[in-house]
Structure 1
Amino acid sequence: MKIATSDFNVIKVFNNNIVLVYQASVEKILCEKGIGLGKHSGDSISRNALIEKTFFIKNKINKVNFHELVNSLDAEVIGLCEEIIYMISKELNEDLHEKVHISLIDHIAFTLKRLKNGDNIENPFLDEIETLFPIEFELAQKAATIIEDKTKIHIPDDEIGFITLHIYSARNERGLANTIKYAFVSNTIIKMIEDELNVKIDRKSLDYARFITHIRFAIQRILGNIPVKNKLVNTIKRKYDPCFKLAQKISKFVEGEFELKVVEEETAYLAIHIQRFKSNRLKKRKKVTF
């Protein structure tokens, strides 16, 4: 709990638990159960009030964009979103990037509007998102439950996937575009393997989870120019030649997407994962034949 050091002047009451205030020339979003009860714009909140969580939006552009949302969206929707942001921050025990107060609120508000009109957008990266960002996906599920309880609008899995991306982006300052790119690249690689091996990869399998995780960390290494050692490169090239050639195609695709060189050691590790998919396909065929 944090104790205020001077009185807060209320700018906007979003709901009983979330208020936008002005204190010592600084705007703040206060989160505390019942803090907005009976309050109106222009009222004061005592400096002795107990505050569970305080959010700040310091960047001028972000502050302008937030005020545009405040002026255009229903206060209850913003309050609901701020409660979700608080829940996420509390569950993670970490501060989120301040842009989340614009991006997540804008997304959820637009999502609710679409769903009311029966317009659901398919998320082509849902399986990849759930596997790549399991912590954020679980938080997005909790957020969906909160939204459903308050609005009585069902939040489908596709939308939970989109919320997951916003949460992950809020934890990492790369921004949403790069977060989506992770999912796009992973999805494309999986499809390349499925087409080449003529196999359907089970998105719920352990091999899939391992592979997607490998791709995620491989991309991070490539972007960070972090060297990787693989003494078995020549052995892998010889023993798994078709898979290594496919891995080379995938490496070329990754190079084109990120404009960075993929070293042969990374390609060799990729070939091992592809070989595992190939071996599993052959095992299944033998079982069917038998």
Structure 2
Amino acid sequence: MFSHEAQYEIIKVLNNNVILAFDMNKNQELIIVGKGVGFGHRKNDILKLSNNEIEKLFITYDKKMKNQYYQLINFLDEDVMAVSEELIAMGEKSLGPLNPHIHIALTDHIGFSIERIKQGIDVNNPFLNEIKLLYPEEYRISVEASKIINKTLNVDIPESEIGFIALHFHSARQNKKVGETVKYTSLIKRLIEIVEKELNVQFDSTDLSYIRLVSHFRFVIDRLEKGKSEENPILNRIKTEYKSSFEIAKKVGKCIEDTLSLPISDDELGYITIHIQRIKLNKRL
């Protein structure tokens, strides 16, 4: 197979396996990750590297990102940096292009997570069931990531942390901040809790009613954020025949409006009502 070779001028050696360099062909600054690429080199050295020698490279879009990456390099173990880049490369292979900031956010999270695990600190993930349902591809990749971490660093990653890693992959895939993804996931969990409280039921994560409800709430929120709405041709009938379920749907709607500051139509509430009514029938409430 043909191996392309390019010239890079070293701006800074971050460690033996990571350098900040200038691509002399494309006239752009980037970070290069590859086994031994920084070993024995210093600033202004010219390197000729083939794509076989480069495990990963990403463009440093702004000064803030560069500074954050430098801080990680100085703070984290080289093995943690290397495995994080391996996981990101694996994620991009399966999920497609990821926001470059994942090189900061996920790497930092994995380093901090490993420290907590070594100290015996358990971290609860209250959104684990929702994460598995909402982001199945990202969760599957994160399970594989946990196996690589275990094999490379000899650290067992608990399921709660696998869920958090999945949040990072999803955020980078959607070009969102992790905080936005957490807010979105947390909202869906609260909506489920409203339905549980109003109907006096406790959903099992494998319950078909729970799976349908989580999926529907996701689509409702997606539509609201995109400014779309589904017309409900039987809305008046729903309001008349399922009054109590419609009242519960209104409480769900208020929670959505308060969290997202977006209005929700009666048409959308009607569809939520149908799900609530179906749960009533299935549970014989």
Q: Tell me if the contact between 1:13 and 1:41 (Cα under 8 Å) persists in the aligned partners.
A: no
Q: Give me the whole-angstrom Cα distance separating, in 2, the residues matched to 1:86 and 1:44.
A: 26
The equivalent of 1:6 in structure 2 is 7
The equivalent of 2:134 in structure 1 is 132
Residues 160-171 of structure 1: pairs in structure 2 closer than 5 A: 160-171=162-173
249 and 97 in structure 1: CA distance in 2 versus 1, 3 angstrom threshold: same
Alignment deviations for residues 14-47 of structure 1 (CA, whole Å, 9 cap, x no partner): 55xxx32412374433355xx4279334275424
Q: Give me the whole-angstrom Cα distance separating, in 2, the residues matched to 1:49 and 1:173.
A: 27
249 and 13 in structure 1: CA distance in 2 versus 1, 3 angstrom threshold: same
Gaps of 5+ in 1: 286-290
Aligned to 1:144, the other structure's residue is in SS state helix
Q: Which amino acid aligns with 1:100?
A: I
Aligned to 1:22, the other structure's residue is in SS state strand
The equivalent of 2:217 in structure 1 is 215
Q: Tell me if the contact between 1:243 and 1:275 (Cα under 8 Å) persists in the aligned partners.
A: yes
2:63 to 60, 65, 71: 60
The equivalent of 1:238 in structure 2 is 240
Q: Does 1:90 align with 2:93?
A: yes
The equivalent of 1:254 in structure 2 is 256
Q: Give me the whole-angstrom Cα distance separating, in 2, the residues matched to 1:37 and 1:69.
A: 18
Q: Give me the whole-angstrom Cα distance separating, in 2, the residues matched to 1:209 and 1:224.
A: 23
The alignment-based identity, stated in percent, is 35
TM-score normalized by the length of structure 2 = 0.90
Alignment deviations for residues 158-190 of structure 1 (CA, whole Å, 9 cap, x no partner): 111111111111111231111001111111111
The structural deviation recorded for 1:2 is: 6.8
Q: Give me the whole-angstrom Cα distance separating, in 1, the residues matched to 2:132 and 2:146.
A: 15
Q: Give me the whole-angstrom Cα distance separating, in 1, the residues matched to 2:46 and 2:15.
A: 12
The equivalent of 2:19 in structure 1 is 20
Gaps of 5+ in 2: none
Alignment deviations for residues 247-282 of structure 1 (CA, whole Å, 9 cap, x no partner): 001101110001110001110111111112211211
Task: State the Cα RMSD in Å.
Answer: 2.1
TM-score normalized by the length of structure 1 = 0.88
Q: Give me the whole-angstrom Cα distance separating, in 1, the residues matched to 2:47 and 2:97.
A: 24
The equivalent of 1:203 in structure 2 is 205
Alignment deviations for residues 79-103 of structure 1 (CA, whole Å, 9 cap, x no partner): 11111111101122x2211110111
2:120 to 118, 121, 125: 118
14 and 209 in structure 1: CA distance in 2 versus 1, 3 angstrom threshold: farther
265 and 6 in structure 1: CA distance in 2 versus 1, 3 angstrom threshold: same
Aligned to 2:98, the other structure's residue is in SS state coil
Alignment deviations for residues 203-229 of structure 1 (CA, whole Å, 9 cap, x no partner): 122322221111111111111211211
119 and 48 in structure 1: CA distance in 2 versus 1, 3 angstrom threshold: closer
Q: Does 1:39 align with 2:39?
A: yes
Q: Give me the whole-angstrom Cα distance separating, in 1, the residues matched to 2:127 and 2:207.
A: 16
4+ runs of 1 displaced by more than 6 Å? none
Q: Tell me if the contact between 1:7 and 1:47 (Cα under 8 Å) persists in the aligned partners.
A: yes
The equivalent of 2:185 in structure 1 is 183
The structural deviation recorded for 1:76 is: 1.4
1:269 to 266, 271, 277: 271
Q: Does 1:147 align with 2:154?
A: no
Give the number of aligned pairs: 277
The equivalent of 1:72 in structure 2 is 75
Q: Give me the whole-angstrom Cα distance separating, in 2, the residues matched to 1:14 and 1:266.
A: 56
